[in-house]
Amino acid sequence: MSLTVVGSIAFDAVSTPFGVREKMLGGSAVHFSLAAGFFTEVRVVGPVGEDFGPEEFAILEGRGVNTSDIERVPGGETFFWQGHYEYDLNTAHTDETRLNVFGDFEPKLSEDSKNAETLFLANIQPDLQRQVRAQSQARFAALDSMNLWIETAKDSLEAAISEVDCVLINDAEVRQLTGESNLARAARAVMDLGPRAVVAKQGEYGAALFTPEGFFALPGFPLEDVQDPTGAGDSFAGGFLGYLSGLDDEPDQMDLRRAMGYGTVLASFNVEEFGTERVTRLTREEIDARFELLREMISLELTPR
Amino acid sequence: MSLTVVGSIAFDAVSTPFGVREKMLGGSAVHFSLAAGFFTEVRVVGPVGEDFGPEEFAILEGRGVNTSDIERVPGGETFFWQGHYEYDLNTAHTDETRLNVFGDFEPKLSEDSKNAETLFLANIQPDLQRQVRAQSQARFAALDSMNLWIETAKDSLEAAISEVDCVLINDAEVRQLTGESNLARAARAVMDLGPRAVVAKQGEYGAALFTPEGFFALPGFPLEDVQDPTGAGDSFAGGFLGYLSGLDDEPDQMDLRRAMGYGTVLASFNVEEFGTERVTRLTREEIDARFELLREMISLELTPR
């Protein structure tokens, strides 16, 4: 089983009430890969500059992520994002974005990346997502997106959505995309475009899963210490799709629910420290222990009185 | 087992994108009582004016609510609230409030109301809540409150909180009350005042329960048709405390979780139609069927692959 992810590989500068980092490894494909790498063989596709060196490759390869499809652009600089969070940590405020090599990104998949059974199209321009989807042989493909593409490339985004099995976006974006304020109706409208699963990410409130068979939701894992929310949504997607990719068969409803649980757990570890710091030294045992805690936390199944 | 609730009894004028009602029965004690009446004997304490007639009493008594402690003020008019909701139904905008007889309310509990084993102090001025608590013999007392009292009577509110077993307020109010943006920490700070349970209501995202033993959360029941959110929080509290009041013993952790489920279910029925319209003709069978649906929706307990 293997999983290909296409998306941004970045250096982030992040400031939160709990600390500052001037330059650390980030980007949606990175956070996704480090989470998914616990469950399956991950291949990451994306461009970096000459400033992306052995230390950064080592973080990815330390998790078993295959980096041979990372394109190192001669003379280029890696995508750079700078942002900060206020006291409540809920909203990322972007201070600077330098696309650098990411601005001219034309995804090229190797044969091995094309042949991965699972594909994740992280948040990039939807026409690029479609180009990647067209190259891929994946039997299960998912995408993330954002308000920018809903506002500037809605037709392309709807076409991209029609070509995947699963959409993972913020709940506000499910509403914005469909013009439907009721989330259950909005999710159904997304499924009407083609996907058989919609995951509405709800920040600290957790995430909701909509499928033709039904509804499932998980709260965010309760944490008293959150240091940096950057990458939480990508870590969620990595836990979710990584778990699904590791299965032998087509996912059924309970597989999708368990995948939601692993997504929730990976996102919770991600935010405990800055950037990739916590996930880099995370173990599968810690993941499984927190998954069991989460399962106990949401259970109504003990014998009622 | 019996439960006394003290709070507002009102006429509401409500406008939502799905309809308008010029004058309908409302108020926190009313929504609470109609929900709690499915589980336990409810006594409602609050003032009404001469405009509150047999039709309104009949709605309450039709659910078995004891109205003998409703004080009908000669020459008075009943508390009136007018509000509207925008397209997303998330925020109530108040257009007019006439306190009328509620402005001079001095709660007087009959012996039967004093002796109820469970007490709910709906959202009223916290010094009034304390007066009621001092009269009551309840072995389990809970209160609701709002941002107004946090801003204008914080010391009184903290004293009132120290005298109850459970607090049910919006999650934003848990944060505002404690000055702590992290919800888990904020809930712990509320428990440090005295209560052994904090329910953070989260609107469409559901509700979270914090106790010294742990954390539990439920999503809002997913509905494609929501007509009027007015009274959802009070219906939640009614389902929650009504269920607890109907138990023979002190509630344990699983009782509190099941109570969260009944709160979620009652809130979901409440918002399906305007005011008390849906709950008035609701049956216990419908409640139990939706509770089972909810339990299935949040389950991770089926055999994993």
For A171-188, what is each residue's pLDDT tens digit?
999 999 999 999 999 999
Question: Taking CB atoms and an 8 Å limit, are B258 and A299 in contact across chains?
Answer: no
For residue A302, what is the nearest residue in chain B, using CA coordinates? B254
Which chain B residues touch A246 with a CB distance below 8 Å?
Answer: none
Question: Taking CB atoms and an 8 Å limit, are B249 and A305 in contact across chains?
Answer: yes
Residue A299 is encoded by which pair of tokens? 């259970």
Question: Taking CB atoms and an 8 Å limit, are A184 and B217 in contact across chains?
Answer: no
pLDDT surpasses 70 at B303: no
Question: Taking CB atoms and an 8 Å limit, are B215 and A87 in contact across chains?
Answer: no
pLDDT score, position A303:
47
Count of beta carbons in the 10 Å neighbourhood of residue B64: 14
Indicate if the alpha-carbon torsion angle A26, A32, A33, A39 is positive or negative: positive
Question: Taking CB atoms and an 8 Å limit, are B254 and A224 in contact across chains?
Answer: no
pLDDT score, position B302:
59
Q: In this structure, are residues A258 and A53 in contact, taking their beta carbons and an 8 Å threshold?
A: no
ipTM: 0.92
| Cα dist from A193 to A190, A210, B241, whole Å | 5, 14, 43
Who has greater pLDDT, A251 or B305?
A251
Q: Once rounded to an integer, what is the mean pLDDT over residues B102-106?
A: 92
Question: Taking CB atoms and an 8 Å limit, are A183 and B222 in contact across chains?
Answer: yes
Q: Closest partner residue to B301 among A88, A215, A301, by Cβ? A: A301
* R_g of chain A computed on alpha carbons: 18
Question: Taking CB atoms and an 8 Å limit, are A181 and B219 in contact across chains?
Answer: no
* Residue B225: φ, ψ to 5°: -125, 105
Q: Once rounded to an integer, what is the mean pLDDT over residues B78-87?
A: 94
Which residue is associated with the tokens 């009602």?
B21
pLDDT surpasses 90 at B134: yes
Question: Taking CB atoms and an 8 Å limit, are A219 and B214 in contact across chains?
Answer: no
Q: Closest partner residue to B184 among A88, A223, A300, by Cβ? A: A223
Indicate if the alpha-carbon torsion angle B239, B241, B247, B253 is positive or negative: positive
Please write the tens of the pLDDT for every residue from B19-54.
999 999 999 999 999 999 999 999 999 999 999 999
Measured between alpha carbons, how far apart are the two ends of chain B, in Å? 45
Q: Closest partner residue to B304 among A217, A224, A258, by Cβ? A: A258
Q: Is A247 on the interface with B (CB under 8 A)?
A: yes
Residues with Cβ < 8 Å from B141, sequence gap 6 or more?
A: B118, B119, B120, B121, B133, B163, B164, B165, B166
Instruction: For strands A140-143 and A166-170, give the pairing.
Output: parallel
Please write the tens of the pLDDT for every residue from A256-269.
999 999 999 999 99
Alpha-helical segments (H) within B136-182 = 147-152, 154-162, 171-178
Question: Taking CB atoms and an 8 Å limit, are B297 and A226 in contact across chains?
Answer: no
pLDDT score, position B242:
98
Q: Is B246 on the interface with A (CB under 8 A)?
A: no
pTM equals 0.95
Q: Is A223 on the interface with B (CB under 8 A)?
A: yes
DSSP string computed for B89-133:
---EEEEEEE-GGGGG------HHHHH-SEEEE-SS-HHHHHHHH
pLDDT surpasses 60 at A232: yes
- What distance separates the 2 farthest-apart alpha carbons in chain A? 69
Which chain B residues touch A303 with a CB distance below 8 Å?
Answer: 254
pLDDT score, position A124:
95
Q: Once rounded to an integer, what is the mean pLDDT over residues B91-120?
A: 94
Q: Give which of B176, B210, B298 to mutate to test A binding, by max A Cβ within 10 Å.
A: B298
A111: left (phi over 0), alpha (psi -120 to 50) or beta: alpha
| SS3 assignment for chain A | CEEEEECCCEEEEEEECCEEEEEEEECHHHHHHHHHCCCCEEEEEEEECCCCCHHHHHHHHHCCCECCCEEECCCCCCEEEEEEECCCCCCEEEEEEECHHHHHCCCCCCHHHHCCCEEEECCCCHHHHHHHHHHCCCCEEEECCCHHHHHHCHHHHHHHHHCCCEEEEEHHHHHHHHCCCCHHHHHHHHHHCCCCEEEEECHHHCEEEEECCEEEEECCCCCCCCCCCCCHHHHHHHHHHHHHHCCCCCCCHHHHHHHHHHHHHHHHHHHHCCCCHHHHCCCHHHHHHHHHHHHHHCCCCCCCC
pLDDT score, position B226:
95
Residues with Cβ < 8 Å from A291, sequence gap 6 or more?
A: A261, A262, A265
Residue A225 is encoded by which pair of tokens? 């210490």
Instruction: For strands A41-48 and A79-85, give the pairing.
Output: unpaired
pLDDT surpasses 90 at B89: no
Q: Is A203 on the interface with B (CB under 8 A)?
A: no
| Percent of chain A whose pLDDT exceeds 90 | 94
Minimal C-alpha gap between B181 and chain A (Å): 5
Please write the tens of the pLDDT for every residue from A129-154.
999 999 999 999 999 999 999 999 99
Burial of A214 (0-12, 13-18, 19+ CB in 10 A): middle
Which chain B residues touch A251 with a CB distance below 8 Å?
Answer: none
Minimal C-alpha gap between A171 and chain B (Å): 11
Write the single-letter amino acid at A196.
R
For residue A204, what is the nearest residue in chain B, using CA coordinates? B183
Please write the tens of the pLDDT for every residue from B259-300.
999 999 999 999 999 999 999 999 999 999 999 999 999 998
Minimal C-alpha gap between B148 and chain A (Å): 21
Nearest to A217 by CA among A225, A205, A227, A209: A209
What angle do the packed helices A154-162 and A126-135 form, to 10 degrees?
30
| Percent of chain A whose pLDDT exceeds 70 | 99
Question: Taking CB atoms and an 8 Å limit, are B181 and A88 in contact across chains?
Answer: yes
pLDDT band at B249 (very low <50, low <70, confident <90, very high): confident
Measured between alpha carbons, how far apart are the two ends of chain A, in Å? 45
Residue B258 is encoded by which pair of tokens? 């099941």
Minimal C-alpha gap between B85 and chain A (Å): 13
Question: Chain B 138-197, CB below 8 Å of chain A: which residues?
Answer: 175, 181-185, 188
Q: In this structure, are residues A253 and A269 in contact, taking their beta carbons and an 8 Å threshold?
A: no
Minimal C-alpha gap between B71 and chain A (Å): 37
For residue A201, what is the nearest residue in chain B, using CA coordinates? B205
Contacts 24+ apart (CB under 8 A), B204-211: B204/A183, B204/B90, B205/A202, B205/A205, B205/A206, B206/A205, B206/A217, B206/A219, B206/B264, B207/B236, B207/B260, B207/B263, B207/B264, B208/A219, B208/A222, B208/B171, B208/B183, B209/B256, B209/B257, B209/B260, B210/B184, B211/B253, B211/B256
Size of interface A-B (CB pairs under 8 A): 105
pLDDT surpasses 60 at A305: no
Q: How far apart are CA B53 and CA B12, in angstroms?
A: 15
* Residue A34: φ, ψ to 5°: -65, -35
Which chain A residues touch B305 with a CB distance below 8 Å?
Answer: 247, 249, 254-255
Q: Is A293 on the interface with B (CB under 8 A)?
A: no
* R_g of chain B computed on alpha carbons: 18
pLDDT band at A301 (very low <50, low <70, confident <90, very high): confident
Which chain A residues touch B1 with a CB distance below 8 Å?
Answer: none
pLDDT band at A302 (very low <50, low <70, confident <90, very high): low
Residue A278 is encoded by which pair of tokens? 């916590």
Question: Chain A 83-112, CB below 8 Å of chain B: which residues?
Answer: 87-89
Please write the tens of the pLDDT for every residue from A77-91.
999 999 999 888 888
Write the single-letter amino acid at B47.
P
| A167 DSSP β-pair partners | A143, A198
Which chain B residues touch A224 with a CB distance below 8 Å?
Answer: 182, 184-185, 188
Q: Is B300 on the interface with A (CB under 8 A)?
A: yes
In whole numbers, what is the pLDDT of chain B averaged over residues?
Answer: 95
pLDDT band at B1 (very low <50, low <70, confident <90, very high): confident
